[in-house]
Amino acid sequence: MEATSTLQAVSATSVPAQRWTIQALLGLFELPFNDLMYRAQQVHREHHEANAVQRSTLLSIKTGGCSEDCGYCSQSAHHGEAAKEALLETEDVIAAARAAKDKGASRFCMGAAWRGPKDKDLDRVADMIAAVKSLGLETCVTLGMLKDGQAERLKQAGLDYYNHNLDTAPEFYGQVIKTHAQSERFDTLDKVREAGIKVCCGGIVGMGETRRQRASLLVELANMNPAPDSVPINELVPMPGTPLENAPPLDPFEFVRTIAVARIIMPESMVRLSAGRQEMSDELQALCFLAGANSIFYGDKLLTAGNPEADRDEALFARLGFSAI
């Protein structure tokens, strides 16, 4: 009954006038699977090409040794097993970006294991952004929390997107991360948006959160004004040595439902099927695309974890009749 009344109140094909509530999202989560897929497809087709998927390639430009204690992360100095490395040289980044472009990526995302960048590091990252952009790729970086003026510096360098995730529900955040508060993440997102950089913001599921907490994360994302341009939905990759290495796996259908709800409540956003794809069957990925995911990370590595080989993705796109954006 609850699901029906939610559907009457909220047309799946229109942008809601009201702010989303956890209750409304739970109504969507609880729909019979086919009804949820149908609604997600309706929204998807109204706002996006039905059979086109965008591809971003990731590169870790500064790996390991991070001061933060994020319970999922292999790069935390508190528990992570990823070896600490220095910031890459710009020429190595350019070579990786060129290879990504040759493989068919349209965006190149550079990630750094920092709480936030120092100004001297930012100058070097700015050079990388300018160089990658000059290859004709869209640029994205994820560098942690930004101080005043840093977002403007990145914008000047030609940055298109800044990735900064809320990661989980506000009420669960403190159980996963103790070295910073989620409110600090909102401050950085405001700086990014104000500097005129597109916002890429999502989270991780499968960390032992409840369905209500998954809904709560999605409510926070959808109620941003405006909603993020790009919404990565990561499935936890349980990394050895991290506090979450033994987190119980999420029911795959619950993951698909999470994608579908994200699509319905953020109609115009690109929804990225992000970490965790290597562990997914082609059939499960196809369900995620049906649920409204229209972007992936492309290339055999994420930051430290694996990702499907480009050839496997090419074959999957061919089998599904998808084109690359």
Residue 25: enclosing H or E segment and its boundaries? helix 22-29
CA distance 82 to 51: 36
- Whether 201 is a known active-site residue: answer no
Cβ atoms of 264 and 47 within 8 Å: the answer is no
**Enclosing H/E stretch for 58:** strand 52-62
- Answer yes or no: are the C-beta atoms of 53 and 319 closer than 8 Å: no
Taking a C-beta distance cutoff of 8 angstroms, is the pair 149, 156 a contact? no
- Using a 10 angstrom Cβ sphere, with 0-12 exposed, 13-18 middle and 19 or more buried, the burial of residue 183 is exposed
Instruction: Give me the residues that bind ligand SF4 (CB under 6 A), please.
Output: 66, 68, 70, 73, 75-76, 113, 115, 144
Asked whether position 114 contacts ligand SAM by CB under 6 A, the answer is yes
H/E run at residue 133: helix 119-134
For the question of residue 200 being annotated catalytic, the response is: yes
Query: In this chain, which of 69, 167, 220, 313 binds ligand SAM, going by CB under 6 A?
Result: 167
**294 contact, one of ligand DTB, ligand SAM, ligand SF4, none, CB 5-8 Å limit per kind:** none
Active site annotation includes 124:
no
Does 288 participate in catalysis according to the annotation?
Answer: no
SS3 232: strand
Q: Can residue 234 be called a binding residue for ligand SAM (CB under 6 A)?
A: yes
In the set 27, 64, 71, 111, which binds ligand DTB (CB under 6 A)?
111
Neighbours of 224 (CB within 10 A): 16
Task: Select 74 or 269, whichever has its Cβ closest to ligand SF4.
Answer: 74
76 binds, among ligand DTB, ligand SAM, ligand SF4, none (CB under 5 to 8 A by kind): ligand SF4
Provide, rounded to whole angstroms, the least separation between the CB of residue 188 and ligand DTB. Answer: 14
Q: Cα–Cα distance between 41 and 35 in angstroms, integer?
A: 10
Q: Is 74 in the site for ligand DTB (CB under 6 A)?
A: yes
Binding mask 230-269 toward ligand DTB (x if CB under 6 A, else -) reads --x-x--x--------------------------------
Interface with ligand DTB (CB under 6 A): 58, 74, 111, 142, 163, 165, 202, 232, 234, 237, 274-275, 302-305
Catalytic residues: 66, 70, 73, 109, 140, 200, 272
